[in-house]
Copies of this chain bind each other. A is one copy, B any other.
Amino acid sequence: MPGEFDLIRRYFDSISGNHPSVQLGIGDDCALLSTSPNTELAISVDTLVEGIHFLPDIDPEHLAWRLIASSVSDLAAMGASAKWLTLACTLNEPSHEWLAAFSKGLTEACHAYSLMLIGGDTTSGKHPVFTAQVHGEVPVGMALKRSSAKVGDAIIVSGTLGDSRAGLALLTAELEGNSEYLLGRYYRPTARLALGEGLRGVANAAVDISDGLLADLGHVLTASDVGAEVHVENLPLSTAIKEIAPEFAEHWALTGGEDFELCFTLPQARVFELQHISERLATPLTVVGEITQQQGIRLLRSGQPVSLPTSLGFNHFGNEHE
């Protein structure tokens, strides 16, 4: 793409940062970073493809925000800080208006998470694709892994579930009604970075809910070689989803993706610590189940087994996996 350097400089320089950890940012063969002693480097890569992960007419500000929040959410799920961002954009002759709006969303999201843009690549292609890679740090040995859930652990989720899925349903007219709150949860999800850091040394295992609670909890169970019981009446639901989609709320709380809340486990003896963490971070935390020796996930309502939804995962635009 001719003018690639100009394009990057013009729009992204404002978020390149001027932080002592960045020895060299955009403009040389590599970025050069100073990492902190006694930490491990946490890295996550996420790609959003037009037509698969976002609609072609999405507001570029929202697109940028979702790209960053979904990436940062992986750092949160490890208990890592957010530090550096690289961004690979394949663009199909974007207008200056589009780039300016995308850059505005990117700048806001980077500020929100103290993330510095330190490099990237801008290419031209018929089909827009965005790959964000985020880098954070976590004290040695303190990362929250998926593989450390223990039998007997309580299972906790942050915030409310299913909202992003409901927002998408409003957007695609799958659902009637209007809710700025639900649309906002879809467009500008919040990565739970402070919560992740607060769970270091507290939680045994953690994952972020990008594919839906059942699917992502399933990753923890597989990695930890355990099972779980989930009490559906305990699922945290927003007032908005209960009003607008009462018949879908529970299902979407279980299978709706892209909430970017955290799901984590900790010993029952430490459940009492949750209230303090929740208050300090102004983040609702809800115990929804417990880790069991028996493999798989069992859903319970008032202690009685209920069927799992036939579709367990989340596919974008409401097409759920079989």
Contact = CB atoms under 8 A, between A and B. Distances in A.
Contact of A47 (B32, B37, B48, B121): B121
B146 A88 contact: no
A47 B88 contact: yes
Interface string A43-67: 1111111111100000000000000
Contacts of A45: 86-88, 119-121, 133
Nearest to A138: B32
Interface residues of A, number: 63
Interface in A77-133: 77-78, 80, 84, 86-88, 90, 118-121, 123-127, 129, 131, 133
Interface string A22-46: 0110011111111101001111111
A interface SS class: strand
A199 interface: no
Contact of A2 (B43, B129, B135, B321): B321
A219 to B, nearest CB: 9
A43 B172 CA distance: 39
Given A30-B78, A77-B29, A127-B126, A121 B46 contact: yes
A161 B300 CA distance: 69
A40 B28 contact: no
B78 A47 contact: no
How many copies altogether?
2
A163 interface: no
A175 interface: no
B32 A125 contact: no
A140 B33 CA distance: 10
B43 A119 contact: yes
Contacts of A23: 40, 143
A43 B106 CA distance: 20
Given A24-B143, A223-B27, A43 B86 contact: yes
Given A30-B136, A33-B40, A50-B125, 14 more contacts: A27-B223, A29-B146, A29-B206, A30-B143, A31-B43, A35-B35, A43-B119, A45-B88, A48-B123, A49-B123, A52-B124, A52-B125, A88-B88, A133-B133
**What are the nearest 4 A-B pairs in CB distance?**
A127-B127, A29-B77, A30-B42, A49-B125
